Amino acid sequence: MKTVVLASLKGGSGKSTIVANLAVEASGKVAVMDMDSPQGSLSHWWNARTAETPLFIDTMTPAHLDYLFVDTPPQRPDTNTVQAADLIIIPVKPSPNDLRAVGETLSVIERLHKDFCFVITMAKARTRIAIDTLQVLAQYGKVAPVMLGDRIDYAESMIDGLSVGEMSRKSKSADEITQLWDYVNSLLHKD
pLDDT at res. 60: 76
Architecture of domain 2-188: 3-Layer(aba) Sandwich (3.40)
pLDDT at res. 87: 98
Over residues 72-89, the mean pLDDT reads 90
62-71, 142-151, 154-163: least confident range: 62-71
Contact 50, 161 (CB under 8 A): yes
CA angle 52, 179, 151 (to 5 degrees): 80
pLDDT at res. 190: 86
Q: Which residues contact 101 (CB under 8 A, 6 or more apart)?
A: 8, 9, 10
Q: Mean pLDDT, the chain, as a whole number?
A: 94
Contact 182, 176 (CB under 8 A): no
Question: pLDDT tens digit string along 10-28?
Answer: 888 999 999 999 999 999 9
User: Rounded distance, CA 179 to CA 189, Å?
Assistant: 16
pLDDT at res. 10: 86
CA distances from 98 to 8, 20, 93, 102 (A): 9, 21, 6, 7
Q: Which among 52, 55, 80, 77 is positioned nearest to 67, based on CA atoms?
A: 55
pLDDT at res. 52: 93
Over residues 53-82, the mean pLDDT reads 88
Question: pLDDT tens digit string along 100-116?
Answer: 989 989 999 999 999 99
Beta bridge partners of 143: 118
pLDDT of 143 above 90: yes
Whether pTM exceeds 0.85? yes
Q: What is the DSSP letter of 160?
A: T
